[in-house]
Amino acid sequence: MTNQEWPLYEVFIRTRSGLSHRHAGSVHAPDDQMALDHARDTYTRRNEGVSIWVVRSDRIVASDPAESSALFEPAEDKIYRHPTFYEIPEGVENL
Amino acid sequence: MKPEDALLAYTLRLGDTALVLGQRLVELVTHGPELEEELANANFALDYIGQARMFYSHAAALEGAGRTEDDFAYLRDGQQFGNVLLVEQPNGDFGDTIVRQVLFETFYIRQLDTLTRCSDPGLAGIAARAVKEIRYHLRHGLQWLVRLGDGTGESHARVQASLHRLWPYCGELFAGDDVDEIVGTHYGGPDLSAIREQWEHEVHALLAEATLEVPDEPWMNAAGRQGVHTEHFGYLIAEMQFLKRAYPEATW
Amino acid sequence: MYTQGLDQQGKTENRRDSLETPERLEAFQARIDAEEKIEAKDWMPEAYRRTLIRQISQHAHSEIIGMQPEGNWLTRAPSLKRKAILLAKVQDEAGHGLYLYGAAETLGISRDRMVADLLSGKAKYSSIFNYPTLNWADIGAIGWLVDGAAIMNQIPLCRCSYGPYARAMVRICKEESFHQRQGFEIMHVMANGSEDQKAMAQDALNRWWWPSLMMFGPSDKDSKHSAQSMAWKIKRFSNDELRQKFVDVTVPQADFLGLTVPDPDLRFDETSGHYCYGEIDWQEFHDVIAGNGPCNRQRMETRRRAQDDGAWVREAARAYAAKHAAKAA
């Protein structure tokens, strides 16, 4: 029974023009075109969207949480990348 | 018939058709073939009920007799409903439902499209909203038509049978009467024979894409617009109207 | 709402990590205690995963089965406005079921499997939906009481430790905010309407009051899953705490409506500031859970029929997709 299920799609919605698409949830659909319809009918019932992306869930490549220290922690000590790292003398403006 | 009476009758027929089809779709709730389709169907039903309310409210304003949308929906008898017979046909299986939707909506979208340019601003405004809704219904319905037609042997046979069952009701879509004629002349309403030509052309192409055959059944004589319904209709409105009619003094 | 797919990708990687060592369990609990969210691919104890699958799928099934009692009045709604509102609400329930199935799928179970478990009777759903809707006021009572009780349960779930479930609940709670109000409005109109309408409203309250209290589940002393779920922050308040809160807010609303709560033992206790309520009929609760409520068989039969009747449709869409994928390749 399990392998008869329609494939799973992840749904991304742009809620207003000017914003990026954001993950809203998932739907099952037999194919890409139907996935768009299903995403529309499921996730934009309250006027939440101006654009939809759908992508087969099994096509998403994700980072592994087991590797998260290797992937993300090295950035933690690069504090000089943030503007607050720098001291600006009193009285200097527009910087 | 005075032009304003024709316009009122015409608006009510639009309301009746939207309401009856909406009621049929409402009956399908909890019976969908998959959860995602359950949501789609409810959207379609909501659109039709919303359209019915707009048409009835406009009719109430045209009539100016203090009636409300609910008076039109709940307190008229069967023979006063002027919906086309195609939309009151029972839901049947999913194939029947899809075929009914596609056959009707390929007609209805053209009717609405013309009405967006008609000279009655109220009707034109409603049509402008409704036409967008129906455009999406059709997008979805047509996707299903090709998937069922060109899916499995069983789905093909089922949907071809649905087509044969519902085809005879299509002739009525284009069989206007004096109401259509007067609204055409005085308000720029649609020319049904022109729509028929476009409809036949489109439907033949769609059926070909769905690997389905155009039925050779002749179109039946039908007079839904004049209030002569199929036997299914009495049950539909009995159920719909029962509560309102059982307690006529109550508000809800 | 992320995915089985993601979950499967990590599988080989996870195998060598899957051993539930004391260190690992402790580190997991520390994350929970620090209010960190657990995400689909994160390491988690098997029991945590199983508990979530059970709870989320049960919640999803409740949304889907819950469409039926209200759906029963859709064709007979007494005004077009009420018809549209009720339809939008029932549709939301389908949507919420869908969101919740999606959240459970991130834990590595398919929707098909969950539906099969529902249809075989292995999975449960909220017992409340095994009661019939007999008059229009039942639609009001469901919105007011059943959704009211559900909200009490659901709001704390927005902070649940499992990210996909918490996010689904945020969306659900936001969408459901109109559900309870529309129910109360129906009750209010009817309680202030004709004698017939008042009688319907009281009749509905009489039938829905006790089943609503049962929605919070067994009393804390008999609740077998509670302590662990609290520690994992899947659950934030005990059954009895939530039930008490529900009674405290609902009784004054019933008074406002001029309706009588069907509990002769109900009284306000000045010292505690809470309402004391009578003994719940736990035998009835267990009977309904066991499948012997007034509508259990009917609800399952309706669900099963939809599933069976839709088989050829789902199959056709799959066949079409396969054909056209082959053509494109």
Name the residue range of residue A12's domain.
8-81
Asked whether residue A25 is domain-assigned, the answer is: yes
Task: Name every chain A residue with its beta carbon within 8 A of the beta carbon of C107.
Answer: none
Pick A26's closest partner by Cβ from C3, C95, C318.
Answer: C3
Find the closest chain B residue to C189 by CA distance. Answer: B252
Task: Name every chain C residue with its beta carbon within 8 A of the beta carbon of B243.
Answer: 76-78, 136
Do C110 and A5 count as a contact with CB atoms less than 8 A apart? yes
Mean pLDDT of chain A: 91
Mutate which of C6, C18, C28 to test chain A, going by most A C-beta atoms within 10 A?
Answer: C6
Asked whether residue A3 is domain-assigned, the answer is: no
Band of residue C19 on the pLDDT scale cut at 50, 70, 90: confident
Do C193 and B250 count as a contact with CB atoms less than 8 A apart? yes
- pLDDT reading at C7 higher than 60: no
- The whole-angstrom distance between residue C75's C-alpha and the CA centroid of its chain comes to 24
Task: Name every chain C residue with its beta carbon within 8 A of the beta carbon of A60.
Answer: 3, 5-6
Cβ of A37 under 8 Å from any chain B Cβ? Answer: yes
Asked whether residue A35 is domain-assigned, the answer is: yes
| Predicted complex ipTM | 0.97
Specify the amino acid at residue B182.
I
CB C89 within 8 A of CB C152: no
pLDDT at C309: 97
- pLDDT reading at A68 higher than 90: no
pLDDT at A94: 86
Q: For residues B236 and B23, what is the distance between their CA atoms, to the nearest angstrom?
A: 8
Report, as an integer, the average pLDDT of A62-87.
Answer: 88
Is this prediction's pTM over 0.90?
yes
pLDDT in tens, C200-231: 999 999 999 999 999 999 998 887 767 899 99
Chains touching C, CB cut-off 8 Å, 3+ pairs: A, B
Name the residue range of residue B161's domain.
3-246
Residue closest to C163 by CA, chosen among A53, A25, B238, B38: A25
Tally of CA atoms within 13 A in the half-sphere of C250 that contains its CB: 34
- pLDDT reading at A14 higher than 80: yes
pLDDT in tens, B236-251: 999 999 999 999 889 9
How far does A27 lie from chain B, in Å, by closest CA? 7
- Residue with the bigger pLDDT between C247 and A68: it is C247
Task: Name every chain C residue with its beta carbon within 8 A of the beta carbon of A62.
Answer: 6, 9-10, 41
Count of the separate structural domains present in chain A: 1
Do C314 and A26 count as a contact with CB atoms less than 8 A apart? no
Q: Which CATH number is B211's domain given?
A: 1.20.1260.10
Asked whether residue A86 is domain-assigned, the answer is: no
Do C6 and A62 count as a contact with CB atoms less than 8 A apart? yes
pLDDT at A67: 87
Task: Name every chain A residue with its beta carbon within 8 A of the beta carbon of B35.
Answer: 28
Q: For residues C30 and C16, what is the distance between their CA atoms, to the nearest angstrom?
A: 21
Q: Which CATH number is A26's domain given?
A: 3.10.20.520
Asked whether residue A95 is domain-assigned, the answer is: no
Band of residue A3 on the pLDDT scale cut at 50, 70, 90: low
Listing DSSP states for B73-91 in one string gives HHSS-GGG----GGGGS--
Asked whether residue A18 is domain-assigned, the answer is: yes
Pick A42's closest partner by Cβ from C3, C41, C95.
Answer: C95
Asked whether residue A40 is domain-assigned, the answer is: yes
Mutate which of A5, A9, A41, A45 to test chain B, going by most B C-beta atoms within 10 A?
Answer: A41
CB B207 within 8 A of CB B214: yes
Task: Name every chain B residue with its beta carbon within 8 A of the beta carbon of A42.
Answer: 36, 39
Which residue ranges in chain B fall short of pLDDT 70? none
Band of residue C9 on the pLDDT scale cut at 50, 70, 90: very low
Residues of C near A (Cβ–Cβ under 8 Å) read 1-6, 8-10, 13-14, 17, 39, 41-43, 91-92, 95, 98-99, 102, 105, 110-113, 116, 168, 171, 175, 314-315, 317-318, 320-321, 324-325
How far does C112 lie from chain A, in Å, by closest CA? 6
pLDDT at C223: 78
Band of residue A47 on the pLDDT scale cut at 50, 70, 90: confident
Asked whether residue B251 is domain-assigned, the answer is: no
Find the closest chain A residue to C93 by CA distance. Answer: A42
Task: Name every chain C residue with its beta carbon within 8 A of the beta carbon of B240.
Answer: 75-76
Do A34 and B143 count as a contact with CB atoms less than 8 A apart? yes
Find the closest chain A residue to B139 by CA distance. Answer: A37
Q: For residues B67 and B74, what is the distance between their CA atoms, to the nearest angstrom?
A: 11
pLDDT in tens, C231-288: 999 988 999 999 999 999 999 999 999 999 999 999 999 999 999 999 999 999 999 9
| Range C51-54 contact pairs with CB under 8 angstroms and sequence separation of 24 or more | C51/C225, C51/C228, C51/C229, C51/C232, C51/C234, C52/C104, C52/C107, C52/C162, C52/C165, C52/C234, C53/C104, C53/C107, C53/C109, C54/C123
Asked whether residue A88 is domain-assigned, the answer is: no
Specify the amino acid at residue C61.
H
